[in-house]
Amino acid sequence: MKIIVCDDYDQMSKKASEIVSDIIKENPKAKLGLATGSTPVGMYENLVKDYEDGKIDFKEVSSVNLDEYVGIDKDNPQSYQYFMNEHLFDKVNINKENTHLPKEDGSLEESVKKYDKLLEEFGQRDVQVLGIGPNGHIAFNEPDDKLNMHTSIINLKEETIEANSRFFDSKEDVPKQAMSMGMADAFNAKTLLVLASGKNKHKAVEKFMHTDKIETMFPMSFIALHPNCYLIVDKQAYEG
Ligand code: PGA
pLDDT digits (tens, 9 = 90+) for 124-174: 999 999 999 999 999 999 999 999 999 999 999 898 899 899 989 999 999
Cβ of 101 below 6 Å from ligand 1 = no
Cβ of 131 below 6 Å from ligand 1 = yes
pLDDT digits (tens, 9 = 90+) for 184-205: 999 999 999 999 999 999 999 9
Q: What is the pLDDT of residue 126?
A: 98
Q: What is the pLDDT of residue 159?
A: 87
b/e 53-83 (16+ beta carbons within 10 angstroms → b)? eeebebeebbbbbbbbbbebeeeeebbbbbb
Q: Which residues are catalytic?
A: 67, 135, 137, 142
Site to substitute for ligand 1 among 80, 132, 156, 160, most atoms within 8 A of C-beta:
132
**In 91-226, which ranges are continuous DSSP H helix?**
108-122, 158-164, 183-186, 202-210
Cβ of 132 below 6 Å from ligand 1 = yes
Beta bridge mates, 68 = 179
Say yes or no to pLDDT of 84 above 90: yes
Contact 1, 233 (CB under 8 A): no
Q: What is the pLDDT of residue 157?
A: 86
pLDDT category of residue 6 using cuts at 50, 70 and 90: very high
Contact 90, 47 (CB under 8 A): no
Query: Which ligand 1 atom sits nearest the alpha carbon of residue 167?
Result: 4
Beta bridge mates, 177 = 155
Average pLDDT of span 38-64: 98
Distance between Cα 58 and ligand 1 center (Å): 25
Cβ of 182 below 6 Å from ligand 1 = no
Cβ of 42 below 6 Å from ligand 1 = no
Cβ of 133 below 6 Å from ligand 1 = yes
Query: Which ligand 1 atom sits nearest the alpha carbon of residue 198?
Result: 5
Cβ of 219 below 6 Å from ligand 1 = no
Instruction: Supply the residue whose CA is at minimum distance from atom 7 of ligand 1.
Output: 133
Q: What is the pTM of this model?
A: 0.97
Q: What is the pLDDT of residue 60?
A: 98
Distance between Cα 180 and ligand 1 center (Å): 14
Helix (H, G, I), strand (E, B) or coil at 190: strand
Distance between Cα 131 and ligand 1 center (Å): 5
